[in-house]
Structure 1
């Protein structure tokens, strides 16, 4: 596993526990700034795939998040996160960056964790979340030209704080994309 902007990391039998570096983020705010300082642990993957895992965020400041990510470079990537909002509630948040980032808050979670998933079928991508790891809910689907081989993995950020912990459990990578992006099957 390779790393971009490594942080404190504990690897267990079936989990990774990360402590975010202070003031870190991945975001390309339209015509204002680019931040490429968050942590990303990854492997290279070619062709179609699905990456999924149970993601827990123990945040203390707005936008603290643990996430799954697919990345070509600093200006072309996507992530789906369990993120602490400004309202102190955890959300499923997705960010798609193709030169500039679009940032979309999704479902408010009852707790601070859920299963997250990114799947690639050619250059079509689907993002989903699940409360139980079995029934998946659609977040978004979109086309984006990316290299055949991209980096896939997980990470953590703390744009406004210095005390975010993330836990990634049961991380799995498959060569098989999701069949139906809308219903998650």
Structure 2
């Protein structure tokens, strides 16, 4: 497990406290990561706590949140710069929690599906292998990892920032807890 205190903030939140090994955070006013598509706006003011990683890796984060307003979100981000990144995790939309993935290569795309069972803690695993990000999830009531997406990501980018991210595009004060974060060599290339 990674020590949150040894990581670096992009856009520090209103509050961030490490208690008993968990990172408890609260968002600033109308924060987000998005580049252009459909909505036309460009935002790069979401909260992102990261460390550097070169080459292939697996990143895992577990988290919970008080999702109440449209687009409240928490999860994992992998980032080269403001125009090349991926974020995935829980996003609150249509009155429910959805597993959401945004991949940005100059312009953002968005995929999401509703999580239909009750849970307290979500875990996300992303494995980078060459030109691919293999995105998986599981909740605290699931035993196996499930595939959410296989996304292209520029293999020429060697150094990436990796870590927990969260935003609240419609408000301030979204509260989340990151229970753990780990960054290791790739766990596997297996999809099935």
Is this a same-fold pair by TM over 0.5? Answer: yes
Match of 1:102 in 2: 109
Q: Is residue 168 of structure 1 aligned with residue 178 of structure 2?
A: yes
RMSD of Structure 2 on Structure 1 (CA)? 1.6
Moved more, 29-38 or 45-54: 29-38
What SS does structure 2 have at the residue aligned with 1:162? coil
- Cα 1:131–1:162 change in 2 (3 A) is same
TM-superposition CA deviations, 1:50-109 (whole Å, max 9, x none)? 111212121221000111000000010001121111x22111111000011111112424
Q: What residue ranges of structure 1 are gaps of 5+ in the alignment?
A: none
With normalisation by structure 1, the TM-score equals: 0.91
Match of 1:153 in 2: 163
TM-superposition CA deviations, 1:116-153 (whole Å, max 9, x none)? 11110122111110124741000001222141110000
Q: What residue ranges of structure 2 are gaps of 5+ in the alignment?
A: 1-6
Question: Which of 4, 15, 20 matches 1:13?
Answer: 20
In structure 2, C-alpha distance between the alignment counterparts of 1:54 and 1:71, rounded to whole Å: 19
With normalisation by structure 2, the TM-score equals: 0.88
In structure 1, C-alpha distance between the alignment counterparts of 2:53 and 2:135, rounded to whole Å: 17
In structure 2, C-alpha distance between the alignment counterparts of 1:113 and 1:107, rounded to whole Å: 15
- Cα 1:29–1:140 change in 2 (3 A) is same
Q: Is residue 61 of structure 1 aligned with residue 58 of structure 2?
A: no
Question: Which of 102, 117, 123 matches 1:115?
Answer: 123
Q: How many residues align?
A: 181
- Cα 1:114–1:174 change in 2 (3 A) is same
Match of 2:3 in 1: none
Match of 1:141 in 2: 150
Match of 2:37 in 1: 30
- Cα 1:84–1:163 change in 2 (3 A) is same
TM-superposition CA deviations, 1:146-167 (whole Å, max 9, x none)? 4111000011100001121111
Is the 8 Å Cα contact of residues 103 and 151 (structure 2) preserved in structure 1?
A: no
In structure 2, C-alpha distance between the alignment counterparts of 1:68 and 1:99, rounded to whole Å: 19
